A and B are shown apart, each in its own frame.
Chain A
Amino acid sequence: MTLGTLLLAGLFRRRGRTLLTLASIVAAFALFGLLDAVRIVFNAGADNAGLNRLIVTSRLSLIQPLPLSQLPRIQAIEGVDAVAHANWFGGVYQDRRNFFPNLAVSPAEWLAVHPEIRLTPATREKFLNERTAALAGVDLVDRFNWQTGQKIPLEGTIFPNKAGTNTWTFDLVGAMRGDGDTRSNFDGQLLFRYDYFDEGRLRDHGTVGWYVVRVHDPARSNAIAQQIDALFKNSDAETKTQSEKEFNLAFVKQFGDVGMIVSAIMAAVFFTVLLLTANTLSQAMRERIPELAVLKTLGFSNGTVCGLVLGESVLLLLLGGLGGLVAATLLLPALNGKLGAQLPPLSVTPGSWALGLAIMLGIGLLVGLPPALRAMRLRIVDALADR
């Protein structure tokens, strides 16, 4: 037997109660793993955004189009390297549940301002030269088992075409993949060419949803943003230029402050775990006062007895917490399958593991400290006499 065995034996002294407490901790940390993955995905757009990119939208609203005539004037500003533009298409593949972001973009410029998009030279060549070409993120290709060369029909929800239908057909020329941390931004998207889209649509010709401006010197981003907005001030299409990070955050916040909602849920869950575990440990401690007094009688120091009680609390949280995070790790692939490409792939990141571990240790120490201090201060004579 070792002190570790003694600690474990103490922890599982009332097996049923400990297992129930453990189950609630597993559930709480599984929820934490899932929610933190969602929080990270919603924040990732902002965190991964290139510092040298500006987004130009209508000053009125994100959905208000801008005239394409603004493009050369923006390009002419000193310090601007390249300008791409995009339109939100809002197309649906086969079923509304199969939603994923699909954009009509200026192909060469789009790839130029997003160097983190990885694709083969042959795919790049086809996308730049074939009018009906489309690029799909690798997650979409896997999800729908698409093959290069296949025709992809999308049902437009905003733009009917000149043929009088909402069905638009694209030729898949290959897959794209985001580089490193930007995977989540591109791997679930479908891109196709603006010229094909603009010719084919019934209305709003010569307009774009937003411009993406790559600046030469990130330190001048603010000044260039002000210059762009000043250029179109008092025109029919006033602009609002922001950093890509600000734009992404504003986009996400259309759905509400996801980070705050998730954090609030997690705080409530952990507060419940805190109360539950504290109650269990304090009950266990009360029952074991004579046993702790015996340990002290045998020569266990105050510090060792305090450490044993604190160790039980931390071990309980670690067992449950790690179990919960493992459960979340195992559950997320299935959840990703259900979500499809509505969200970028969710995963329990090393950051979530580290944060989870810190929370486990924090709660373990917090709930273990009061009974541990009581155990340390326990007077043997009083405890043995049941006073």
Chain B
Amino acid sequence: MVSLRKVSKSYVRGRQSVAVLHDVDLDIPDGDFVALMGPSGSGKTTLLNLIGGLDSPTAGSVEVAGAHLERLNSGQLAQWRAANVGFIFQFYNLLPMLSARSNVELPLLLTALSAREREQRAMIALSLVGLADRANHRPAELSGGQEQRVAIARAVVSDPRLLVCDEPTGDLDRQTADDILGLLQRLNREHGKTIIMVTHDPKAAQFASRQVHLDKGVLTDAPVV
């Protein structure tokens, strides 16, 4: 599913070039659930952004779901993301003026589905996360855990093969976090989704089938103490 070869990424901040990733090689097979761990500033989110097609590498090759992302332009990347990746963020990033159902429907606006089909699929996705009865509620009327469930429904509604999650439980209490992680685990085991999850939390990482550690932009074998 994911194959990274000699991937480097650096940013220009003012007059300085800051190297974030150095020659990263990484393979993630289809159906895997990987926890990407490391201290702050280690490059976890940058790596996740490259895999999710939100950013381009400075050097190296990023092959995800059969596409070489470094060769795609911004329009092609947008189409590729819509078809292949679901995104889950720490702060949910729902649109506050839309209902839960409309938020979940958003990715389907880019498909050829009819309005009725879009609505049906949104309701199925909300049922999957246990929130069908909150379909008409706006984000402000939901708890943090419920908002994250809506975000997960939005991520899976177009049935992508890959889910990328950036600290999905970082803003939740332990119990709610465990519920969300259990849901991700179910999506991985029962629906075959490949999941890459950035987390600081070792307990969260235990829900993944394996852990990958980053330190100062380099993959390491063992956790950094």
Contact = CB atoms under 8 A, between A and B. Distances in A.
**Main SS class of interface, A:** helix
Nearest to B119: A1
Contacts of B145: none
Interface stretch (A66-74, A139-147, A299-307): A299-307
A3 interface: yes
Contact of A298 (B55, B81, B96): B81
Interface string A321-357: 0000000000000000000000000000000000000
Contacts of A251: none
A150 B52 CA distance: 88
Contact of A9 (B45, B75, B98): B98
A290 B105 CA distance: 18
A298 B52 CA distance: 10
Interface of A: 1-3, 5-6, 9-10, 12-13, 290-291, 294-303, 380-381, 384-385
Contact of A299 (B49, B78, B89, B101): B78
From A13, A290, A301, residue with most partner B Cβ within 10 Å? A301
A298 B87 contact: yes
B109 interface: yes
Contact of B109 (A2, A12, A13, A290): A2
B107 interface: yes
B74 A302 contact: yes
A5 B119 CA distance: 14
B139 to A, nearest CB: 11
A27 B93 CA distance: 37
Given A9-B95, A302-B75, A380 B109 contact: no
Nearest to B84: A299
Given A9-B98, A384-B89, A1 B78 contact: no
23 contacts: A1-B105, A1-B109, A1-B118, A2-B115, A3-B109, A6-B98, A291-B96, A294-B95, A297-B87, A298-B110, A298-B154, A299-B83, A299-B107, A299-B110, A300-B78, A300-B109, A300-B110, A301-B79, A303-B75, A380-B54, A380-B55, A384-B89, A385-B45
A6 B109 contact: yes
**Main SS class of interface, B:** helix
Contacts of B96: 13, 291
A295 B106 CA distance: 8
A10 B102 CA distance: 13
Nearest to B79: A299
From B78, B81, B154, residue with most partner A Cβ within 10 Å? B78
Contacts of B83: 299
A298 B75 contact: no
Given A297-B54, A298-B81, A12 B97 contact: yes
A303 B54 CA distance: 17
Contacts of B107: 298-299
Interface string B96-137: 111001100111011000010011000000000000000000
